[in-house]
Amino acid sequence: MSLRNYEEDSKQEKLYREMYKNQTLKYVIDQKKNYEQFGVIKMRMFKALSLLDTFVDSSDPDLYLPNSIHAFQTAERIRKKFPNNKEYQITGLIHDIGKVLYTFKYPEWSIVGDTFVLGCRLPKSMVYYNLTVDHPDRDNTELGIYEKGCGLENLNISFGHDEYLYMVLKQNKSKHKLSDKYLDIIRYHSLYPWHSKGEYRELMNNKDYETLKNVNEFNNFDLYSKEDDAIITDDIIDYYKNLLKEYFLEEILF
C-alpha cells in the first residue's frame, strides 16, 4: 500500500488550498488566545473518542474510515510492540481526539492536514506547495520572526487538532497521568515538514532532537496502522475503556 499520495483536483487539494489561504500568523495567534480558557464542554475521554465515529478526515488520502477506527488501529499497533507501555498506547488512542473541533463548527482546514510554521519561509517540501502562492509567509526569510535555536515550543504552528488537544491536556494536567514526552508527540505528530522532510532544523533546540526521535517512532504506528484490520472487537474496546479510566481521572474540559 502506497501512502500519502496527493493528487490534483482532489478533495485534499481543495482543503489545502483553503488552509494556505486562511492559516495566517494572526489567525493562529487568535486561536491560541481563544483556547487559553476552556470550558466549552465537559466530558470523559471515551465520549470524546466516540464523537469521531462519524468523522472522516478529508485531508488524508489514505484513510476512508471514521477516525475512531484509526485511533484503535494506532493504539493496537503500539500495544503489539510495547505491551507494557500503557502511556504510549493511550497516546496512540487519543492522538487525534482534537478533531472534536468539528463538533464546534470549525472548518476542516483548521482541524486536519499537515501543519506548518507561520512567521517564516514556507518550505517547498510542503504538501501542495504550489497552492501557497498567495500566502503571506511564502517570501519570508528562513528564520522570519524567530531566532536561531529558539525551540519548537516558541513557534507559531498552524492551528488544528494537534495544538488544540495539546492545549486541552495542558490546561487539564491535574486530571490525567500523561507525561510531557507524550504530550509533545501529540502536539507535533502532524508537522510533517519537520519530522519527515528535515525542515525547520535551524529553529530547533537540543530538547527538540529527542522529541523528533519520539515523533518519528510514533509516525510508524500512526501512518502505517492504516494498513491494518479495521475490525475493532468488544475486547479491544473494553481494554481501552479501562485504560482511559486509569489515565484520565475525571471529566476533561474541552
HSE-up (13 A, CA, CB side) for residue 194: 28
pLDDT over 80 (residue 37) = no
103-131 average pLDDT score: 95
Average pLDDT of span 147-160: 97
pLDDT at 228 over 80: no
| Locus of grid cell 517540501 | 125
Q: Is 4 or 150 the better-scoring residue by pLDDT?
A: 150
In this predicted structure, the answer to whether residue 225 has a pLDDT above a threshold of 80 is no
pLDDT at 119: 96
Stretch 36-65: mean pLDDT, rounded?
Answer: 79
Quote the pLDDT of residue 218.
97
What per-residue confidence (pLDDT) applies to 194?
Answer: 98
Percent of the chain with pLDDT over 90: 75
Q: What's the pLDDT at 238? A: 97
Predicted pLDDT at 93 = 97
What pLDDT is stored for residue 63 in this prediction?
A: 58
> Tell me, what's the pLDDT at 68?
87
Query: Of the given ranges (4-8, 16-20, 43-47), which has the lowest mean pLDDT?
Result: 4-8
pLDDT tens-digit profile of 175-219?
A: 999 999 999 999 999 999 999 999 999 999 999 999 999 999 999
Q: How confident is the model at residue 223 (pLDDT cuts 50, 70, 90)?
A: confident
Q: Which segment of 5-9, 26-30, 140-144, 217-221 scores lowest on mean pLDDT? A: 5-9
The whole-model pTM stands at 0.92
**More confidently predicted of 63 and 213:** 213
Per-residue pLDDT for 36 more than 70?
no
pLDDT band of residue 6 (cuts 50, 70, 90) is: low
**pLDDT reading at 35 higher than 90:** no
**Hey, which of 11-15, 33-37, 111-115, 223-227 has the most confident mean pLDDT?**
111-115
